[in-house]
Amino acid sequence: MKTLNYFAIDLGATSGRTILASYDGTRVEMKEVTRFANPMIPLGGHLYWDIAGLYNEVLGGLRKVASEGIAIDSIGIDTWGCDFAFFGSDGQLLGMPHCYRDQHTVGAQEKFFEKMPAAEVYKHTGIQFMDFNSLFQLDTLKRNGSQALEHADKVLFIPDTLIYMLTGKAICEYTVASTSQMLNPMTGDLDEDILKALGLPREKFGVMTQPGTVVGTLTAQVQEATGLGAIPVVAVAGHDTGSAVAAVPAEDKEYAYLSCGTWSLLGIESEKAIISDDSFRENFTNEGGIEGTTRFLKNICGLWLFEQSRKEFKDAPASVGELVALCEQSDYDGLIFPDAPCFAAPASMTAAIREYCLSTGQAAPETPADYCRCIFRSLANRYREIVDILQGMCDFPIKKLHVIGGGSQNKYLMQYAADALNMPVICGPVEGTALGNVLMQMKASGVVDTLEQMRAISAASVDLVTYYPVAADKPIN
């Protein structure tokens, strides 16, 4: 078969990139086209995303591919969840989108629960409670008299925002909509009672769209700006974790997955949503997956702890690889609870970790090596806690952990996880979100038909590394 080329736009909460992926009938080869920062913009007492800047970076990636004469078969976009942008009836962007780390939603849950109790919200949505969920962001903006919301004709999640800017088509992609705590997994659409409590009509949001759907083609203006033709734009799993899980190279269902990056998203794939008293008590979430699946998971503070701490290290190696290897130089045994509120957005992460350890009767870490070891062992310990809870709520044995994303390259964290879980930890693909994005584009174009075929291609496209518990006396690759 001829080689097919797919353009993946993969935007994270700290950086973004555009990727060209080629499929030769057996495996997918990916090449980074552009990479760029995605900083939070402090303005007027709030934090925002520069969505126009991100759109311009996307155009830049498309221009570069066009300048090289590469024919693209389709384009797909995945991003972080929860955040959204407003557009007027004339199609114009109404300001910059708020960043989910903006503190304006502190205490927002309790205010919304005055209109609908927490148990009722969970019954309708099955989503983990976090201040920054779209539900609480929108309710906060409504209470604060947001002019952008008041005049909004369209409310679009971030991947849908970029699709709208590229194609002029307004959609509400299912997987990213499921992060909002506004989608009802039983009906497959935004929940009527939630919207009523918010005071927002359904028509302000785009048409509910399943991943693997061709939305439209690049507008004439975008074609002129990039030098490309009418390239199809596909709604992939718009939430980056949804795309990452699509690329898990699993051979059976007896596994848990960990999307390991700034956030650690740890869960299982389920055929249906798990909404129960237990899942409500443990604050687990049911997010939309591909091919009718549900991602039943827990959202854990991840390598954000490390990313923020390393900015403060003095006289430490600059490279991440050398820095994480400092773990070998420390025997510090203190542990933190990664999901403690004090680690959400501290002025100083190292100070927050130090204060937490002292307040819990532990010695404080002193060196970069101590901080690295503390962070990685604490995350591994948290993974064990969550897998134990998952095992009690799923109907199959969890025998291994599949890890996808950049964190899978951290051999110290991965070995700590294997030891804590006492099970194999299978790492790869590193570029899970981009590969899952591409696999859904392939599904939309008819190249593959089933989830099993997609995962077989994923397995053929990457070199996996497996870590075993040291006590099991098995080799570590």
Determine which one of 83, 191, 240, 419 is catalytic: 240
Among residues 387, 388, 379, 370, the alpha carbon closest in space to that of 410 is found at: 379
- The H or E element spanning position 16 is strand 15-23
Residue-wise DSSP of 109-124: HHHHHTTS-HHHHHHH
Q: Identity (one letter) of the amino acid at 48?
A: Y
In the annotation, is 240 catalytic? Answer: yes
Q: Give yes or no for a cis peptide into 365 (omega within 30° of 0).
A: no
Token look-up 């849950």 returns 109
Strand segments, DSSP code E, in 210-306 are 213-217, 232-235, 256-260, 263-270, 285-288, 294-301
Contacts of 439 (CB under 8 A, 6+ apart): 28, 246, 247, 448, 454, 457, 458
Output the CA torsion 79→85→88→93 (10° steps).
-80
User: What is the distance in angstroms between the CA of the first residue and the CA of the last residue of the chain?
Assistant: 34
Which residues, in sequence order, are bridge partners of residue 217?
232
Which residues are annotated as catalytic? 240
